[in-house]
């Protein structure tokens, strides 16, 4: 099955975001993608959002199915194992990790007992350093947690705000497709069911920068053995 992942460069207005995402969806359809995974686009969320409604109206005329997460910036995130969308049952069980759900190691350990086939990560990276750490973590998860790991994020945000790129499609420790910055549409042919990692490695240790981020969002301060505070991508005192 051909899947696609959209990395979206944040625009100045919701209307521009909607137009750009419709273009990305058309590119994915032109490439033959059957399922397209989008990142969160906060400017388009909310009931009665005119730009969001305009986007979905445009998507109705574009071939392919799409996963568009809408959890809301007011929530820390989401983590759960769900069935694959209707019509894509061959993908098996999907672990969906959004925001702090991507960096909550206790929750990830619990989800591992459900043996998901695919993991979709919407990390809300707050800096390029976090985006790099997420990719490193996702690579390790593809050898221990789920054989196929998909990372989808926006790009172009200010330091400390969600959206610093690093989208990727990873299968058993191999980066099949990757976007570093700006707009991009990643496309890959994946044979389903993917199957579990074989051998299944131990779950990885969370990178310190992501541990710091999670602690910071919980109102805690994580002591580390180096002088830099990397929780928001800046250097501490």
Is 233 inside any structural domain?
no
Cα-to-chain-centroid distance, residue 8: 12
Structural domain of 153: 2-217
Q: Is 181 exposed, middle or buried (0-12, 13-18, 19+ CB in 10 A)?
A: middle
**Could you tell me the mean pLDDT of each successive run of 10 residues in the chain, 237 residues long?**
97 96 97 96 90 93 91 84 92 95 96 96 96 97 97 95 96 95 96 92 95 89 58 41
pLDDT per residue as tens digits for the range 144-191: 999 999 999 999 999 999 999 999 999 999 999 999 889 999 999 999
Q: What CATH number corresponds to the domain at position 183?
A: 3.60.110.10
CA separation for the pair 121, 141 (Å, rounded): 11
Is 231 inside any structural domain?
no
The predicted structure's pLDDT at residue 70: 84
Is 224 inside any structural domain?
no
The predicted structure's pLDDT at residue 236: 36
The predicted structure's pLDDT at residue 69: 87
Is 228 inside any structural domain?
no
Tell me the HSE value of 61 on the side-chain side, using a 13 A CA sphere: 6
C-beta of residue 28 within 8 angstroms of C-beta of residue 187: yes
pTM: predicted TM-score of the whole model, two decimal places = 0.91
Is 148 inside any structural domain?
yes
CA separation for the pair 104, 71 (Å, rounded): 17
Number of domains in the chain: 1
CA separation for the pair 211, 185 (Å, rounded): 29
Cα-to-chain-centroid distance, residue 59: 20
Is 235 inside any structural domain?
no
The predicted structure's pLDDT at residue 21: 96
The predicted structure's pLDDT at residue 233: 46
Strand partners, 61: none
The predicted structure's pLDDT at residue 75: 81
The predicted structure's pLDDT at residue 78: 93
């Amino acid at each position: 099955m051909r899947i696609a992942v959209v990395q979206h460069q944040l625009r100045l207005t919701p209307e521009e975001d909607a137009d750009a995402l419709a273009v990305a969806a058309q590119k994915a359809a032109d490439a033959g993608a059957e399922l397209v995974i989008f990142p969160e686009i906060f400017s388009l969320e909310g009931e009665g959002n005119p730009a969001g409604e305009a986007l979905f109206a445009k998507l109705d005329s574009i071939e392919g199915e799409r996963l568009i997460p809408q959890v809301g910036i007011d929530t820390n995130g989401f983590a759960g194992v769900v069935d694959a969308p209707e019509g894509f049952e061959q993908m098996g069980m999907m672990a969906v990790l959004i925001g702090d759900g991507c960096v909550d190691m206790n929750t990830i350990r619990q989800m591992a007992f459900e043996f998901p086939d695919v993991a979709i990560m919407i990390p809300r990276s707050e800096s390029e350093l976090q985006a790099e750490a997420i990719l490193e973590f996702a690579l390790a998860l593809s050898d221990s947690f789920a054989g196929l790991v998909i990372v989808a994020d926006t790009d172009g945000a200010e330091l400390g705000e969600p959206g610093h790129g690093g989208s990727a499609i990873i299968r058993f420790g191999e980066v099949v497709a990757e976007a570093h910055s700006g707009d991009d549409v990643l496309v890959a042919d994946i044979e389903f069911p993917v199957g579990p990692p074989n051998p299944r490695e131990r779950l990885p240790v969370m990178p310190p920068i992501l541990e710091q981020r999670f602690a910071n969002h919980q109102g805690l301060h994580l002591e580390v053995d180096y002088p830099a505070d990397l929780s928001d991508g800046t250097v501490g005192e």
